[in-house]
Amino acid sequence: MLYIDPDECIDCGACEPECPVNAIFTEESLPPAWARYTEVNALWYRDRDAARRLVDELRPDGG
Ligand code: SF4
């Protein structure tokens, strides 16, 4: 998973078309099903273990 520091990102959009699996969205266009990944992304920069736990919780198979 690629993490983007929300405090460093300037919302230029340059990364969005470069993702080979179309997994990067602007915050405004993020599909509702992936909304909690905004939290995961920001959490990564504060507490990586907590971010890993949240990713595991969000996995379709429950981790
Ligand atoms: S939108 Fe993407 S390319 Fe632009 S600053 Fe943010 S992370 Fe970097």
Fold of 1-63: Alpha-Beta Plaits (3.30.70)
pTM for this prediction: 0.81
**C-beta 15 within 6 A of ligand 1:** yes
For ligand 1, atom 5: residue with the closest CA:
9
pLDDT digits (tens, 9 = 90+) for 44-56: 999 999 999 999 9
Cα gap 15→22, rounded to integer Å: 10
Quote the tokens at residue 8.
Answer: 């460093």
The per-residue pLDDT for range 5-27, each reduced to its tens digit, is 999 999 898 999 999 999 999 88
Report the nearest atom of ligand 1 relative to the CA of 13. 1
10 lines ligand 1 (CB under 6 A): yes
Q: Show me where the domains of the chain are located.
A: 1-63
Q: Which of 20, 21, 38 is nearest to 29 (CA)?
A: 38
Q: How far is the CA of 25 from the centre of ligand 1 (A)?
A: 10
